[in-house]
Structure 1
Amino acid sequence: MTGGTDPRSRSDRDRITFEAFYQKHQGTWSHYAFLHTADGRDAENITNYFTWRLVNSWSQALAQESVERFAWDLYKEVLERWLEERDAGSDFVRFAAFERAVRAVAWSGQFEALQESLWLYRGIFDLPERQHEVMVLMYVMHLDEERIAETLGIAAGSVRSNLRHARNRLEQEANARHLLHITDSEG
């Protein structure tokens, strides 16, 4: 073949790029779906369907300014549609609060953690979309700022800004309710 590259090499390169991208983010996608469905099989099905959709739009993803942002937006679309089709709301508040309360009770024997956790996770759930995502990825899924920025396809400064705004909003609400202050170790 003269005057160009072999189309098969581009296809192989795209496949390898997709596989690396998938390996890097698959665990985060599955965990995020699990937090919203509280069901491992559902989380796996959502992630598998999303993977199929992403594979089929991979060339479009590669043409975007941020492949991560494109993928995350597509993932949220798949998750939201899945919940909507089943007339199921997100189980995030109930599941995340229960998980945290169980850990707190096991460690300290204090049941007040359940009430505070329910309020905190309801507050996180009600945050504006980007702030919600950043708080979940940071404090529930325990990703660092760099990994959050990579996952969402945004700048690290944007992650910090969203965290700051979300924490300020939650802290104002906590003060109004006379609850404990939200700290960096909360989650």
Structure 2
Amino acid sequence: MMSALEADFGQTPSQTVGPYFAYGLTASQYGYDFDQPFDAVLALENARGERIRVEGRVIDGDGNVIGDALVEISQPDGEGRYPQTVDEARSSGFRGFGRCGTGTESGNRFVFHTVKPGAETSGEAPHINVIVTMRGLLLHTFTRIYFSDEAGANANDAVLQSVPADRRGTLIAERVAQDGAVRYRFDIRMQGDGETVFFDV
């Protein structure tokens, strides 16, 4: 006979925060019949900058890929500028913000279609700001994506250099050129070996 401690009572509300956010904020992605204000496409046809695809997985402390996380990114365009108004975003073809759940792409990946950001200020390396929400988290986490082909700029970036040297690699996306397209691979490890650096914002 199974004891109360061994019984499977299903997920608790705190464990289902991830699904609530992923389905509620990326409704169209999950096939629900209502709109979502942002999706995984940040750069339209006339956006300024090099076209890139940023993709990866969210991985838990046991090494399992999480299929109900929500990843949000914000970044400037290829010239280091954020759109200041809705009209500017429309005219420039660049939205500056994207949102993607991890439950619909193969391998439970997140995939963003954007441009490689320019540096916002002198001395700062190009980067993308990232927010992760998932099951078991009552507060979202903040991290950054830097780029493997920006070694010189990365070496002078004050935020990246504030991270212990043996952990900086957890913030670097690897560039892969495939079929004429540029992709950056970036896995987010929530706990355990190789845990991604998260910032106290």
Common topology (TM > 0.5): no
Q: Which has the higher strand share?
A: 2
Which structure is richer in relative contact order (CA contacts within 8 A, separation 6 or more)?
A: 2
Q: Which has the higher helix share?
A: 1
Structure of greater Rg: 1
TM-score, length of structure 2 as denominator length = 0.27
TM-score, length of structure 1 as denominator length = 0.28
